[in-house]
Amino acid sequence: MTNQLPDLKVYLAAPRGFCAGVVRAIDIVERALELHGKPVYVRHEIVHNKYVVEDLKQKGAIFVEELDEVPDGDRPVIFSAHGVPKSVPEAAKTRNMFYLDATCPLVSKVHMEASRHFQDGYEIVLIGHAGHPEVIGTMGQLPDGAITLVEDEADVAAFTPKDADKLAYITQTTLSVDDTRGIIEALEKKFPSIHGPHKEDICYATTNRQESVKSIADKCDMVLVVGAPNSSNSQRLVEVARTAGCGRSMLVQRASEIDWSVMDGIKTLGITAGASAPEVLVNEVVDAFRERFNVSVETVKTKDENVEFKLPRQLRREGEPGAPVRAAS
């Protein structure tokens, strides 16, 4: 007689996983390979997910940290979804490189906001995490000293601007909505005339994924966030789940990383995924639990998403809207 598997209720948060910016970035690499053949070069991880990066490597993408690792020639070079400092495309132009910018349009929006504030004579505060590629790219849009990074309310308390009446703030797109709210409130209290974005900088996908994990956290014994350790939005999901009522929340890259010793006795499990984690890894995690538990799955949807971003004009196929016009032969 076989031992009966323990029952486990799995709540799948929705939306989860890939956002429109990540889909566009991956599509850019795959379309460049389709149109131009192997190899194409990608500066930094196209998105923060090892599985995605390894998959693209197998298809012919070569990942580099800096442009000086790319040999001279006409091979395409792609900039990651997180955005790059202005010095990077300038260096690419100097070398006559064929480059494609996979920066998420919502990150580009923040770049444009920063440039507009700077042109209007404002000193800029960026709410974000030091060392994150998006922060490096945003701060690199303007001359040194034009943007001051604040990571928490203590940084706000210590910050003294040149002119408190000519101050504006922008934010990294992948932050915790709740944590950022506190920092913004601290800025607005200390600097009542500070200018904020016309529309919140934190992207729709980050907000939606945080709201969806909040909706399941308090009924779960454990919440697993499928994502990469260097993915800001994935790390924020873990924090949000803990704050929303599930102290036993953790990040896993894939099923093989699950620590089964901490799963003893759980009866309810929440699963979500960061914006750069593919659904195949979520399915892999659910299947791993099916091997050890009698699993019933309930999807908890808090929002429908239908956002789509177009590919760069150079990569659109003939006949697609906005495709380059071919000269008659």
Per-residue pLDDT tens over the stretch 286-308:
999 999 999 999 999 999 999 99
pLDDT at 324: 60
- 144 domain residue, yes or no: yes
- 308 domain residue, yes or no: no
Cis omega (within 30 of 0) on the bond before 15? yes
Q: What is the mean pLDDT of residues 219-232?
A: 97
Q: Is the domain of 89 the same as that of 115?
A: no
Please tell me the pTM assigned to this model.
Answer: 0.93
pLDDT at 181: 94
Per-residue pLDDT tens over the stretch 94-119:
999 999 999 999 999 999 999 999 99
Q: What does the alpha-carbon distance between residue 2 and residue 322 come to, in Å, rounded to a whole number?
A: 62
83: domain CATH number is 3.40.50.11270
- 323 domain residue, yes or no: no
Cβ–Cβ < 8 Å for 169, 110:
no
pLDDT at 200: 81
* Closest C-alpha to 191, from 144, 159, 217, 146: 159
- Domain range for 14 is 7-18+204-301
- 120: confidence class by pLDDT, cuts 50, 70, 90: very high
Q: How many domains does the chain have?
A: 3
Could you give the 3-state DSSP secondary structure of residue 211? helix
Q: What is the mean pLDDT of residues 87-92?
A: 97
pLDDT at 323: 61
Q: Is the domain of 82 the same as that of 132?
A: no
pLDDT above 50 for 1: no
Share of the chain above pLDDT 90, in %: 92
- 306 domain residue, yes or no: no
Q: What is the mean pLDDT of residues 123-149?
A: 97
238: domain CATH number is 3.40.1010.20
pLDDT at 2: 53
Q: Is the domain of 213 the same as that of 286?
A: yes
Per-residue pLDDT tens over the stretch 316-325:
776 666 666 4
Per-residue pLDDT tens over the stretch 176-204:
999 899 999 999 999 999 999 988 888 99
Q: What does the alpha-carbon distance between residue 274 and residue 209 come to, in Å, rounded to a whole number?
A: 8
Cβ–Cβ < 8 Å for 211, 235:
no
pLDDT above 90 for 41: yes
Q: Which pair of tokens denotes residue 247?
A: 């102290």
Residues designated catalytic? 134
